[in-house]
Structure 1
Amino acid sequence: MEKAPSKSTSIVPENIEQLEALLNQYKDFINEPSNELIFSTDDYGFVPDLFKASKTTYGTTEVIYGLWDTNLAAATTTGNYWPVEWKKIFTANLILQNLSKVKGSAEEKAEIEAECHFIRAYSYFQLVNIYCLPFTQETKSELGLPIKQTTVFTEDMQRVSLEQTYAFIESDLKHALMAKRPFLKTNGLNRSWRSSTAAVNSFAARYYLSLNDYNNAQKYAQKSLDEYSELRNYNTNMSFSVQPYKVTIFNPQATQVDLFFPYTHDQPTMAQDRFGFGETYYFRVMVNNDWKYWPSQELLALYDKAYDLRYKFHIVEDYSYDQGRATNPPYSYPGYIFFYRSDLPSGPSVSEMILTKAECQVRLGDFSGGILTVNQLRAARMSVGAPQNVINLSANSSAEALTKVLEERRREMPFVHRWLDIRRFNNNSDASDDVVVKRTFYPFNANTILGSETPINYTLEKNSRRYAFPLPNADIISSNGALKQNKY
């Protein structure tokens, strides 16, 4: 006990099964608790009247990240996303470092090696899209990330350029694409907690779309869909929880209200509940530990409330009575729910690939084909009782088709992809999809929201440097200056 444990004194893996066991610990990989992604976009609603009704509907975490306060975000000591993906990168590097030393066949080792390159590329992609500026010819020399390929403490912590960071991600991605592993099922569930050819192809589609490389994005999206393309039909395979959730409001007398959660809420800790949804190629979840996804009015307005079954099963009316405690007097505001109250699927999925393919078709000149593609998704999401001209989108021009496809993307994957989408929209050659995010909310400081003051306007301009969230000050200090903070 007199000798402190360290990376260098840990138990060294001896066989391939031990490395497989590390990769099978899916709980070590699936969670993405990024306040930066959850609160920062126009999908998340900042509603002054909701806060006025109940001070528990928003906290300082929401406003620091949702109103893009770089000084307070850098000083935050708990809950930032920065260390989460570095831990996954460390695990991938640990396995790569020991792979040649353990017993196992060359084929097994090649598969694990490819999977670790995939994990590392995926985590770097997450980090670069939160803590670095969007990649363009104008920004390519800006700060990227440290390149970590070992578990050694003394490895260089200096941030390389954005161009070098993306080259490193693409190199890992190409290595991962070399492996051929079918999209398997285990005990009736898609084995989406592990890598597969379909998983890597779907991530490649996401990667190239982020760079506005529509040819490659469409190519890899199609490869994924060719291997697996099953959608959950919301008409036949969705339901509400077994028991409505009951809350009491005072209006002024006590009145009981039932909240209806989608079936995925029933068993929040059961893997079967999540993997069983069946659409994900590689399972990841965005995690909001505050349990509050308040959809903005702009997002809510995109849904057909009569026929869109995503509104029926994911928009929970009166959610503010539960998580907002806005019950006396009552103030009703809906919340967005998918897996339990906290988790939204964020890994590459069938629906994402359909939307990626459709968008690329439109942007590359085949707007009629793009509309046909997106309607494959709508057939599984819209009520069969809707008129056909409601179920199926139509367009008379490429511009109209692009608007409709991007609106469908936002309806299908709110919160999860919006930050990445805004970044790429604002840096492509098409000005029609540019987004300036605007809020009206109360002033605040590090400790509290100043609800007694008049709400003010907040704006995230198109080319703002705040599209790169700050690194934690604590990590910059502990690096002895090796890590450099973003400039604002």
Structure 2
Amino acid sequence: MKLSYITTLGIILMLSGTGCKRFLEQEPTRQTSIKNVDQLQALVDNSPALCDEPNNTAVFSTDDTEIPADFYKNNVNRAHALASIFYYVFDVDMIVGEPADNFWSREYRNIFTANTVLDNVEMAAGSATDKAMVKADAHFLRAYSYWMLANYYCLPYSSANLATPGLPLKKTSNVEESLKRSSLGEVYQFILDDLNEAMKVNREDVDASKRWRVTRKTVEAMLSRYYLFTEDYPKSLEYANRALSSTSVVLKDYKTIIASPPIVYNNPTASLEIPEMYNWSNLQTLQWPELYYPRYTNTPGQWFQPSESLLQMYEGQNDLRYKWFVIENGGRRFSVISPIAFRYSQFSDGRQIISGPSRAEMLLNKAEALARTGKPGEAMNAVNELRAARFTTPTNLSAADTNQAIKNVLAERRREFPFAMRWMDIRRFSINNYPGDDVTVTRNFFKVNAGGVDVNTPQTYTLPVGSKRYMVPINGVDINASNGQIEQNKY
């Protein structure tokens, strides 16, 4: 993963030091020093810079997160930053007024990296095979970033929403490209086209030591997700099964996870159990055996704060996802003593949780596609295959009918992917023809404004089913930098 060329490193440093304004509005430095395909491969091999998603919406805006009023009032100086609270209460204006949106910027930075590769690959020296592989990497990277952006800043995918505003589609690094938002339908078609291009790669299965290198199995996993979200359940099932034929992407049996030395606090005394992954390096995290492609929802605040409703989904310590990832007195990490505050921590001291396509996701995609097409028994078989690797003493789920099967699958999905997938799931549940999966998110908190949180004025906030606030507001800096080309979401 180390970059091989100073010129290539310079491109990455230039990207990492700029906001969205600079690489959407201004012409990038010409890559005249790129001579060969190895330099382009080094760009897409910069995995730590490409795989993190600093995503406040995923961390703070769903029913997986709860910041209890008494907790916040007692720990104002130790709790979450004010910008995070704006996302927690589904604000619009204060989010627009923030100095930057790192999630939007990071994904467009990835898109610029992909476009740099695609703009230069045919002129670079190298074999046809090497060029084809790096092109696949770039097409997939671009597709994935547009996927993430579309599932946060646009309305959910549906036939009724295809003509609504999508995203600025930057297809090259040419400054002359328009920043006007394409339609949602055009964005989804572009994503699908890029995935089909990536499928031309001649690598069949995932390299366990370089999971960021795109293979057919990588693309199949992403296509299963794409078709699940566009309600094409037969195709989602087809691609899930194809991805599951991988021999290098395997379930991690959580019974094999070992504990790291506990974290010990004094005054009052507390000894907190943590898993081995708590202190893993980036390289170790990138090699997690379940991943088809490494992506992580990231919070610099290091605190995914689980809601009571999420905690109640688990079967206590028997569910190893709870045992290893839910730290029951985790608030001590931030000097919170009272009330006891829970913390969800999967990797990197609570910074990262898996959001990229994984074997667990493919089993749940398969189960959901089967459940929604009237095959409850087969759906439960897929769910129970996952549960066998997640419990000290696994218990099999059963379903007598479609409704129970869907309920079981979605509950397992929430237990498996808290925070990382929940926002996207809530959105898609709202537009299908099955009201049993609809989610309303309610907050009992305090009055919030640009000046801070008024802890003496309680206020309730609600994100109703089908809300226009399913679209994250686009940052005002990016709107202004586009000279009127980028249209703000309408609420």
1:440 aligned counterpart, secondary structure = strand
Which one of 200, 219, 230 corresponds to residue 238 of structure 2? 219
Matched with 1:16 is 37
Match of 2:466 in 1: 463
**SS class of match (1:154):** coil
- Give distance in 2, aligned partners of 1:360 and 1:190: 31
How big is each residue's C-alpha offset from its partner over 1:264-290, in whole Å with a ceiling of 9 and x where there is no partner?
A: 0123x3412x13431111001111111
Q: Does the 8 Å contact 1:246/1:256 carry over to 2?
A: yes
User: Using the alignment, how far apart are the partners of 1:314 and 1:356 within structure 2?
Assistant: 23
Cα drift, residue 179 of structure 1: 2.1
**CA, structure 1 residues 79+472, in 2 after alignment: closer, same or farther (shift >3 Å)?**
closer
Asked if 1:326 is matched to 2:336, the reply is yes
Deviation (angstroms), 1:321: 2.0
**Which residue does 2:252 correspond to in 1?**
232
Indicate conservation of the 8 Å contact 2:372/2:406, yes or no: yes
Cα pair 1:59 1:449 within 8 Å, conserved: no
AA of the residue aligned to 1:204: L
Q: What's the Cα RMSD here?
A: 1.6
Partner of 2:452: 448
Question: What does residue 29 of structure 1 align with?
Answer: 50
Superposed displacement of residue 436, structure 1: 1.2
Please give the alpha-carbon distance, in whole angstroms, between the structure 2 residues aligned to 1:421 and 1:326: 31
Give the match's secondary structure for 2:389: helix
Equivalent of 1:41 in 56, 62, 78: 62
Does structure 1 residue 94 correspond to structure 2 residue 105? no
Q: 1:143, CA displacement in angstroms?
A: 0.5
**Could you list the per-position Cα deviations for residues 393-427 of structure 1 after superposition, in whole angstroms to 9, with x for gaps in the alignment?**
11111111110111001001100000111111111
Retained in 2: the 8 A contact 1:57–1:320? no
Q: Show structure 1 runs of 5+ residues with no match.
A: 249-253
Change (3 A) 1:78 1:474: closer
Distance 1:30 1:87 in 2: 11
Instruction: Confirm or deny that 1:311 pairs with 2:315.
Output: no
The residue type equivalent to 2:344 in the other structure is Y
- CA distance in 2 between partners of 1:412 and 1:64 (Å): 26
1:428 equivalenced with 2:432 (yes/no): yes
For 1:277-292, list aligned pairs within 5 A.
277-292=288-303
What amino acid is the match of 2:450?
Answer: A
Task: Give the one of 152, 159, 174 matched to 1:130.
Answer: 152
Q: Which moved more, 1:308-317 or 1:191-200?
A: 191-200
> 1:379-458 alignment to 2 at 5 Å?
379-384=388-393, 391-453=395-457, 455-458=458-461
Selected match of 2:140 from 114, 118, 129: 118
Q: Distance in 1 between matches of 2:81 and 2:360?
A: 33
Partner amino acid, structure 1, of 2:66: G
Offset at residue 463 of structure 1 (A): 1.4
Q: Aligned partner of 2:179: which letter?
A: M
Correspondence for 1:349 among 334, 358, 363: 358
Q: 2:185 aligns with which of 143, 159, 163?
A: 163
Task: Write the letter of the residue equivalent to 1:322.
Answer: R
How many residues end up aligned between the 2 structures? 464
Q: Does 1:195 align with 2:214?
A: yes
- How far apart in 2 are the matches of 1:226 and 1:89? 30
**8 A Cα contact 1:41 1:419, kept in partner:** yes
Deviation digits for residues 359-404 of structure 1, max 9, x if unmatched? 10111111100001110000000113x6xxxx11111111111101
In 1, Cα distance between equivalents of 2:104 and 2:252: 33
Q: Quick one: which amino acid aligns to residue 49 of structure 2? A: D
The equivalent of 1:337 in structure 2 is 345
CA distance in 2 between counterparts of 1:277 and 1:474 reads 37
1:364 alignment partner, one of 373, 390, 411: 373
5+ residue gaps, structure 2, are 1-13, 15-25
- Structure 1 residue 10 displacement after superposition: 4.1
Secondary structure at the counterpart of residue 259 of structure 1: strand
| Alpha-carbon distance, 1:6 to partner | 6.6
What is the TM-score when the length of structure 1 is the normalising length?
Answer: 0.92
Asked if 2 retains the 8 angstrom alpha-carbon contact of 1:60 and 1:447, the reply is no
CA shift for structure 1 position 260? 1.5
SS at match of 2:245: helix
Contact kept, 8 Å, 1:35 with 1:80, in 2: the verdict is no
Q: Find the counterpart in structure 2 of residue 251 from structure 1.
A: none
What amino acid is the match of 2:476? N
Distance 1:462 1:271, change over 3 A: same
Secondary structure of the structure 1 residue equivalent to 2:67: coil
Aligned residue type for 1:331: P
AA aligned to 2:269 is Q
Q: Percent of aligned pairs with the same residue?
A: 35
Q: Which moved more, 1:258-267 or 1:414-423?
A: 258-267
